[in-house]
Structure 1
Amino acid sequence: MTLTFGILDQSIVFPGQTAAEALGNTVKLAQQAEALGYERFWVAEHHDSPVTAGSSPEVLIAYLLANTSSIRIGSGGVMLQHYSPYKVAENFNVLASLAPGRVELGIGRAPGGLPRSTKALQKGIAETATLEEKLTELEQFLHGKTGEDHPLAGLEASPMPLQPAEVYLLGTSISSAKLAAERGYPYAFALFINNDPETASKALDLYRSTFNAKHGRKPKAILALSVIASDTDEEANEIAGQMKSVRVTLASGKTVNVGSLAQAEEFARQAGESFTVEEREADITRGTKETIRKRLLEIKEQYGVDEFIFTTIIPDFAKRVRSFELLKEAFQGELV
């Protein structure tokens, strides 16, 4: 049995911390992940939030690449709906030229912030395009010049790297799985955001069964989990018990996951819609390394995956590092 482990870090600014300290911990955690032998380290994109410092993943990725030597560094993910595919391709072509074979471009479908940050990010954009259209352009720009059928024929997102960043699609729904399969992209399902087992199973099954194997690609599914490993089950349960999952549903039917009831209310206020809120205990795989090992093996069989990426939200940085150490110890000799 072989498994692949990665880490998703959200650069959370915990109470009593500064944003600079949170980003410094992200750098230290990436270095620790490399030392422990994790396959990849991804950083998130969040806007207009005092509790997250990672608003510019491409900038943070550059710094992480410069402060590590072998681990793959990527975005989890860039919110392409806000940006020019050409500029995203330029950013990641520069990164891939600086660190060949180490850069991964995860694309997210969520807004990554409140409605006012979405308005600010998209201010001045003259043309609108669907995510599918933007993905098509992005893929063109990552691999060469635009064709004769493009309005800007011959345009190149220089520099062109020898090994372009690999595109991953991130999602929490069946529709995102369908899009990843159609595009022939690796797909990461965020179970820590949408912990509905039925949706996750259907999404992953659809992804594998309808995957477009263009260019000889094979389906590659990653499950993103929230995990807290501790030396005792009691400590893990105590840490996890402090965390809540909040989902706001607007009158228009749009649903968004946020970090607190206050954020849910603010999101709805900015959107100008009535709303309902569901608060529940966060779905976190927790316990000692023995407990975690047993549960991860069950999840592996349940969803048919052998790649995981973990997010671990523990305010105490030493305990966060310890959690990732215990995860590796739980599968010593079985990871690739």
Structure 2
Amino acid sequence: MPYALSFLDKSPIHEQESSHLALAGTLSLARKAEELGFKRFWVAEHHNTAKLASSSPEVLIGFLLAQTKHIRIGSGGVMLQHYSAYKVAENFNLLAALAPGRVDLGVGKAPGGLPLSTRALQGAYDPVRKPSFEVQLRELAGFLQHDKSGKDGEDSLAAFPVPDLPPQGFLLGASIESAKLAASLGWGFVYAGHINGDEAAISEAISAYREAGGTTALLAASVVTAPTGQAIDLSHEIRRFRVEIEGGQGVNVGSEAQALEYVRQAGAIQYRIEERTPLLIQGSPETVHATFHRLHTAFGVEEFIIDCPATAPAQRLQTIELLGRARASLAA
């Protein structure tokens, strides 16, 4: 196969199950992905969301690394705007020292929640002194490379420990600007097709990444599959809405109600809400792989990050099993 498969999990809490069971389900998925040859297993970051257990990816990554053997484990992604770049670098350098060659640091620009949680996360920061996302990301990249801020004879700052192999950096985005920024840092670029699936936009962003010197292009997509390709109605799980508020950050949310709640919590008067069409690939495992192959050929995508919109653990596990086994069969 000319492309690799990876999986993104949000640790959804299905129906009345406990958060413990939801996280145990994430571990089962990671182990199955490893067994079936997936390249990476990533976990997301969401805040103040009762039905998602993945509020702290770096903690969950450490647990998954300890319970697996060779699959790469990472974040999809750390919401950098809330944190010190220095502390994020320390966290991931420590993870990489614990599991050499197995740690990915995916970083996103989104808040991972609504304004209430953002204010709670950033309440101790002086907004006047808060750096831009690009400045934060460049600082983070420097700390991961162990650049020193001081010159000879001056104080310097490094994010220890120094791992044998540093974490691999990825920028998650859906714009030409994000693609160029990733390339300028020598990072991988993950186009968030599971949020905005417009193929012209995908082509433009990945082309811009390549033209800027980027080397590792990945595409995230929502995938729904079943043994014979029968329809599974998950349409309510994959809707995406873009919220733009005057003087604030644009965000993507999963429902119109969430979009309006974002506006309310932000206290915005001038705003715009528009529905976006995510990249949804559905059908039999063979049909899904045929689509992967088409996208690989069209855009030079080297790897697909699979986002399964199902909340039921059995459906997410089935997605990994069907696609992993079909990949092995097609390769043979």
TM-score normalised by structure 1 residue count = 0.91
Of stretches 67-76 and 179-188 in structure 1, the one that deviates more from structure 2 is: 179-188
Distance 1:280 1:233, change over 3 A: farther
Are the aligned partners of 2:242 and 2:276 in contact in 1 as well (CA < 8 Å)?
no
Distance 1:163 1:28, change over 3 A: same
Of stretches 96-105 and 241-250 in structure 1, the one that deviates more from structure 2 is: 241-250
Figure out how many residues of one structure are paired with residues of the other and give that number.
326
SS at match of 1:158: coil
Aligned-partner residue type, residue 206 of structure 1: A
Q: Which has the higher contact order (CA 8 A, sep 6+)?
A: 2
1:238 equivalenced with 2:232 (yes/no): yes
* Matching residue of 1:92: 92
What CA distance in whole angstroms lies between the structure 2 residues aligned with 1:293 and 1:141?
38
* Matching residue of 1:123: 123
* Matching residue of 1:311: 307
SS at match of 1:247: strand
The correspondence of residues 188-207 of structure 1 with structure 2, limited to 5 A, is 188-207=190-209
Please give the per-residue CA displacement for 1:79-104, whole angstroms capped at 9, x wherever unaligned: 11111111111111110111011001
The correspondence of residues 283-322 of structure 1 with structure 2, limited to 5 A, is 283-322=279-318
Distance 1:224 1:282, change over 3 A: closer
* Matching residue of 1:176: 178
Of stretches 170-179 and 321-330 in structure 1, the one that deviates more from structure 2 is: 321-330
1:63 equivalenced with 2:63 (yes/no): yes
SS at match of 1:238: coil
What CA distance in whole angstroms lies between the structure 1 residues aligned with 2:140 and 2:277?
38
* Matching residue of 2:244: 250
What CA distance in whole angstroms lies between the structure 2 residues aligned with 1:158 and 1:320?
37
Residue 257 of structure 1 and its aligned partner are, at CA, apart by 1.8
Residue 145 of structure 1 and its aligned partner are, at CA, apart by 5.2
What CA distance in whole angstroms lies between the structure 1 residues aligned with 2:162 and 2:133?
23
What CA distance in whole angstroms lies between the structure 1 residues aligned with 2:233 and 2:89?
39
Q: Which runs of 5+ in 1 are unaligned?
A: 212-217
What CA distance in whole angstroms lies between the structure 2 residues aligned with 1:171 and 1:73?
19
SS at match of 1:97: helix
Residue 289 of structure 1 and its aligned partner are, at CA, apart by 1.4
Are the aligned partners of 2:150 and 2:156 in contact in 1 as well (CA < 8 Å)?
yes
Aligned-partner residue type, residue 319 of structure 1: Q
Of stretches 321-330 and 249-258 in structure 1, the one that deviates more from structure 2 is: 249-258
Are the aligned partners of 1:250 and 1:273 in contact in 2 as well (CA < 8 Å)?
no
**Would you identify which runs of 4 or more consecutive aligned residues in structure 1 move more than 6 Å?**
none
* Matching residue of 1:214: none
Are the aligned partners of 1:145 and 1:153 in contact in 2 as well (CA < 8 Å)?
no
Residue 29 of structure 1 and its aligned partner are, at CA, apart by 0.6
Please give the per-residue CA displacement for 1:239-297, whole angstroms capped at 9, x wherever unaligned: 33343413143342853221223211211101111444445775421111122122222
Please give the per-residue CA displacement for 1:160-216, whole angstroms capped at 9, x wherever unaligned: 1111111111101111111112222111001010111111110000100111xxxxx
1:37 equivalenced with 2:37 (yes/no): yes
Are the aligned partners of 1:249 and 1:256 in contact in 2 as well (CA < 8 Å)?
yes
Are the aligned partners of 1:72 and 1:103 in contact in 2 as well (CA < 8 Å)?
yes
* Matching residue of 2:159: 157
Residue 333 of structure 1 and its aligned partner are, at CA, apart by 5.9
* Matching residue of 2:268: 273
What CA distance in whole angstroms lies between the structure 2 residues aligned with 1:268 and 1:251?
7
Of stretches 322-331 and 169-178 in structure 1, the one that deviates more from structure 2 is: 322-331
What CA distance in whole angstroms lies between the structure 2 residues aligned with 1:149 and 1:16?
57
Aligned-partner residue type, residue 265 of structure 2: Q
Are the aligned partners of 1:145 and 1:154 in contact in 2 as well (CA < 8 Å)?
no
Are the aligned partners of 2:74 and 2:103 in contact in 1 as well (CA < 8 Å)?
yes
* Matching residue of 2:255: 260
Query: In angstroms, what is the RMSD of aligned CA positions?
Result: 2.1
Are the aligned partners of 2:197 and 2:277 in contact in 1 as well (CA < 8 Å)?
no
Residue 123 of structure 1 and its aligned partner are, at CA, apart by 1.6
Aligned-partner residue type, residue 48 of structure 2: D
Residue 111 of structure 1 and its aligned partner are, at CA, apart by 1.0
Distance 1:31 1:220, change over 3 A: same
What CA distance in whole angstroms lies between the structure 2 residues aligned with 1:144 and 1:223?
29
SS at match of 2:75: strand
What CA distance in whole angstroms lies between the structure 2 residues aligned with 1:207 and 1:68?
32
1:74 equivalenced with 2:70 (yes/no): no
What CA distance in whole angstroms lies between the structure 2 residues aligned with 1:244 and 1:186?
25
Residue 323 of structure 1 and its aligned partner are, at CA, apart by 1.4
